[in-house]
Amino acid sequence: MTSLNRRDLFRTTAGLAVFMGLPPALRPALAQEAPGTPFSYEELVARARRMAKEAYVPPYRPMPDVIQQIDYEQHGKLKFKPDRAPYANGGGAYPLNFFHLGQYFGKAVKMHLVESGIAREVPYNPSLFEMPEDSPARKLPPDSGFAGFRLQEWNGASDWRTQDWVAFLGASYFRAIGALGQYGLSARGVAIDAAVPNKAEEFPDFTEFYIAEQADPETPVIVCALLNGPSITGAFRFALKRGRDRSKGVVMDIESALYLRRDVERLGLIPLTSMFWYGEYGRERIRDWRPEVHDSDGLAMWTGSGERIWRPLNNPPSATVSAFEDNNPRGFGLLQRDRNFDHYQDGVMYDRRPSLWVEPLKPLGKGSIELLEIPTDDEIHDNIGAFWVPAGKAKAGNEYTLNYRLHWLADEPYPAENIATTTATRIGNGGEPGKPRPPNNYRFAVEFNRPSVMTKIPYGVFPEVKVTASTGRVIRTFAEPVPNGNIWRAVFDLEVEPREIAELRMYLELNGEPLTETWLYQFDHRNISTFG
């Protein structure tokens, strides 16, 4: 199932390539008669630069009172008609559908189709949607616009009318399915002042899209977007690659130019957004019948120096931001590593949610990868963010140009061959078996696996657990093989006072060389309900 569901709707709330001279009969009918204007990405960049020097004008909101009546139930009844989709009958590889405005998506977004460098706007028309006679949407004016768009599967596939692979909906959010055919986490254009104390986060909008389809599914679909917000403007160029082989997931090459209207305290570039309620650890495990509930289970980083790092996610008692300084990181991403259905037991297929990896195509320079973790008591909320924050103050007048690739896959695209990766993090009471459990003592059991690495450990040889803590005392460290597998477990106890938060760093070492990636964790005893 790849359609947007109810939880997805709530969570989302918060030169261009040409058509090679298509004959008129194959041109998209929705925009065929509209007047055209010359278009190029370069001009969109210039326009965004000019807008940054002008006063912010909010997006058009048609009849807000009526839009509020289009709640989740009403919005679900407004379905774009597949037979009206541009490129459904030729002229493009992927049929294009539009989302209707609604309670959670009330800002009008302009849609344009581009052919041979000429852009034509697609006008809103209620006849494009299946719409009940009593729908509040029938009261909207003809200039209402759309909320967003999605691309259906290759039009040579038998199920394209029910299967889509990328969607842009809400503010600057967008998402794609991965190699396992499931939606999950999202990306967005930019994050402005996320988790800044006493300051509301700003959500700039993609206000205009320019879409140029390609006739061959092996050729990327090119989409350009104009970004606008009180503090920032920008232009984006997306090259969206799906291909006939669905097992390869989705790859996006993205160029962007961003211009600050005013100072920003925390500028998050290339932001990723996900959900983590609880995993095999965490205080929420006793509140729900399922063993685990999350779209992603960790932040992976490949530093500029070549170190591989895994940071398991938390559902913290209060909003937390962790910063990992780096110089020209090679990549980072929010991954879903646990692919065992039995660990979720949920029909919404958390085991198939995509991992999302950022590959810089232009060096990012100095800055930090920042991880935002916000407390949540349900799975309908995105409470995890990861983004790049460049060094230096984000001042009005600053310009930022980016070129990066997003990989929507089952796993990171460039796994290390010579080190093992983290497969599980487990936390419980510490102490010696058969003896009273000492207070403020916690046991960590971290499992690593990569058969090509772990099977080379000689029989009778035990790797060394290299672990440090920012506070407290580490005791009783040892490594052991997990029966019936190639997994090795690193175990250690941490003695720490209740009010202290410990930053932990650990890896397995053999013969003086790292055997595993570096495991990082921020431990706050309040994350573990059974410990009080």
Closest CA to 237 of 402, 413, 408: 402
Tokens of 251: 């790859």
The contacts of residue 165 (CB under 8 Å, 6+ apart) are 2, 94, 151, 152, 153, 176, 177, 242, 246, 250
Query: Cα(501)–Cα(318) distance, rounded to whole angstroms?
Result: 13
Query: Cα(43)–Cα(296) distance, rounded to whole angstroms?
Result: 37
Which domains are assigned to the chain?
6-409 (2.70.98.10), 421-531 (2.60.40.10)
* Residue 260, amino acid: L
Contact between 336 and 295 (Cβ < 8 Å):
yes
Q: What is the largest CA-CA distance in the chain?
A: 82
Query: Which residues of the chain are under the pLDDT cut of 50?
Result: 1-27, 530-532
So what's the pLDDT on residue 15?
31
So what's the pLDDT on residue 2?
42
So what's the pLDDT on residue 485?
73
Give pLDDT tens digits for 250-278: 999 999 999 999 999 999 999 999 999 99
First to last CA, the chain: 40
Phi, psi of 129 (to 5 degrees): -120, 145
So what's the pLDDT on residue 91?
86
Query: Cα(529)–Cα(95) distance, rounded to whole angstroms?
Result: 49
Query: Cα(7)–Cα(381) distance, rounded to whole angstroms?
Result: 8
Tokens of 264: 């920003």
Give pLDDT tens digits for 50-70: 999 999 999 999 999 999 999
